[in-house]
Structure 1
């Protein structure tokens, strides 16, 4: 270098080094002569192979900014403390750095942690350039050392917030999906839902284009997974449930240009446990055009859902018999009437003698009788699209959508047969029921039909009490 160059070098505000890498170059050349054709692959396969190379590096000059950065008075002081901020363990970025030099990359850099001569930790970014004229020997390499400590502190702080956030977070790269969507639009596809219906495997193909970038501890805990690798192995099976329906809604929002999505989803975990979550999808502002950084936040709703389901159960089921209650019965009538279900049938039933049993033997025996009869109804309509409700103290109704008179008569016969069987097993308190049926062949309005079934039941009940006054 000319003296003028050294003056510029010395006065540069950027910390700079001139180092001799000729020993490194000789080792690389020898590897090449020994038949190692891909030096980069050789280094990356086992980065520790660089250790003999590092021992050959010599520092010939540094500038004033370097002394200031490393809090040193001279080069000798830095070299004397070299072991404090350079370690023998070779990192993968460092291996890429040396491989880049061999491949004559224009910009070779990596970001190690160093220590100043006073022991203070600093984060630096080293960039290397072979000085013109020394390309064959690497005798003069110019290195710049940028202090990126504030940036790295901020990055680590952000990573810590991400990793330890109580909200489950998944960051993924969907840029290949964006490219796929762009190709579909170029082909004239305007309705993604219709395209997916014609090509059902498209959902799986799109999911496989997703690249998982990072997950935090809360997400691993939510899905009961060990680490990022465990998540990557199981994420597709989680999303493949219900034919990728959760992913389908996500794709539809992205296709329609909606970069924010919030919806409730359900997942079955490896241990078959079911969790309910709110998914919130957001595209990072600098990735709106590429979809290269998308974050999905999951809020666990499982406990709330379980409570809601329990409260719903309490509101719709009779606690004594476990049959539906009057509230469900009324709501179901409105639903069926609104849907204009045809044909329709119902069975109205009343337990005979319940009041007398309660008065003579006590309500405990009456409750046992109700439970026995309720179990008969539950078993009878099991796997059938009907509902059985306790609509009064001793009154029960089976609603039978899309059922005919023949269906109702057949079901009633099955109930009566089960009653006979139950009474043979426990003859101490016999089950006796008055029943009435109706069907929409006669009455189109469901409420009128139920009223008719009720009236038919009371005719039977009245006849029962003429024969037996209890």
Structure 2
């Protein structure tokens, strides 16, 4: 995947200036003057890109790509870019668009863009991760099919996406029978009668598939694939197929959604599916075209982006962003009681002074190992600062919290036996909110107790060296 790590902090400043100037509808504001979109583009700084990006755009180096961004993003890219800006303006932490870029040798690229604003490092929006997917082949295939139906058969055979021609006529018969039977709320009907979904699924008749489908589903021949459709359409397909049926019930003969299938080797595939009833077959659904684009790599990249947004990379624990969201969630759910444990790693500065940051990072990773083993869901533990951690224990009283503290001390002792060097030591404070509305106070009490223990630790340490 093409990944761009960018700094949007100057764009954030520009947005704030516009807000102060009274701008409310950014879409209208940008449409009034094209130079405003270009001003936004100029406020965005690319920090680095991965090697796949250089290969996608035909650049020899990052420096060459950065120097020629004007060749990559042209006037016909502005509509998609403006859509991204509006999403950011509206406060979304993630944004997406479909747009057009160009390679350095002038070739057009249709791209699907997704971005995620990572937790701020120094300034708002100073860390933005952007993922680009080249969907040129899929878009070219669609344009060709729409432009000239005479090329449909050749396109079907050579298309770089998985294409299926299917017969849904028996499914239409079944839906018509249900409608005649007086059913009006079809979604509820499907919820009450899951066997109907299975029955419709069994009535799909595959008429043909293209060569790319055989490759994508690890089939040696059409006969093998069609003979093993039960291995492809497993339980992962049930929910999405029920949604397809509901759309067909309401007359939506063109659909697109993400689905999950399996190839004949049993591997899970994430697909972007487009379903359309062929023109002239709207009355019987006897010819349906299904196009499947493998988005497994994209889904893995999205999962990684989500992981980055909620985890501390060094300790593998949750980060402060997750911690803040979790507090809000617990307050909304009115969970009670909630115990909290505030922890501060002792002697981190001394470790850094003696062995450099690598030594301090080692201590933090070890602390992460201990806390990850001591806490199980629905409890959570997050690194909320340099050497500060917080454990949230929903539904756990003070006695239960003390049991977690005892486990932490036990696991630290084992960890110190295994690792040489400076031993793990931590200052801990504990408190319990009997009512969810008392959580803020409990967090404060836990912090105060932790800081008292921190001062005692330093006092004992100084006494031992004097």
Distance 1:248 1:238 in 2: 16
Farther off after superposition, 214-223 or 154-163: 154-163
Equivalent pair of 1:443/1:449 in contact (CA under 8 Å): no
Match of 1:277 among 267, 271, 274: 271
1:401 is aligned to 2:384: no
Farther off after superposition, 333-342 or 315-324: 333-342
Output aligned runs, 1:440-451, within 5 Å: 440-441=433-434, 444-451=437-444
Deviations 1:400-422 (A, max 9, x none): 33433333222222111111222
- How far did residue 433 of structure 1 move? 0.9
- How far did residue 441 of structure 1 move? 0.4
- How far did residue 179 of structure 1 move? 0.7
Equivalent pair of 1:333/1:447 in contact (CA under 8 Å): no
Deviations 1:352-380 (A, max 9, x none): 11112211332222221111111111222
- How far did residue 438 of structure 1 move? 2.5
Distance 2:171 2:237 in 1: 18
1:299 is aligned to 2:272: no
Match of 1:80 in 2: none
TM-score between the two structures when normalised by the length of structure 1: 0.62
In the alignment, structure 2 segments of 5+ residues that lack a partner are: 1-147
Match of 1:436 among 429, 432, 444: 429
Match of 1:465 in 2: 458
1:320 is aligned to 2:304: no
Output aligned runs, 1:47-196, within 5 Å: 157-196=151-190
Equivalent pair of 2:427/2:450 in contact (CA under 8 Å): yes
Match of 1:232 in 2: 226
Distance 2:354 2:152 in 1: 74
Aligned residues: 316
Deviations 1:185-232 (A, max 9, x none): 222122223223332222211111111111112222222222322222
Match of 1:107 in 2: none
Deviations 1:242-280 (A, max 9, x none): 471121111111112211211122334343433322111
Higher Rg: 1
Change (3 A) 1:297 1:447: farther
Match of 2:303 in 1: 309
Change (3 A) 1:389 1:228: same
Distance 1:347 1:270 in 2: 49
Change (3 A) 1:289 1:401: farther
- How far did residue 156 of structure 1 move? 8.5
CA RMSD, 1 decimal = 2.4
Distance 2:330 2:352 in 1: 35
1:205 is aligned to 2:199: yes
Distance 1:223 1:448 in 2: 56
In the alignment, structure 1 segments of 5+ residues that lack a partner are: 1-153
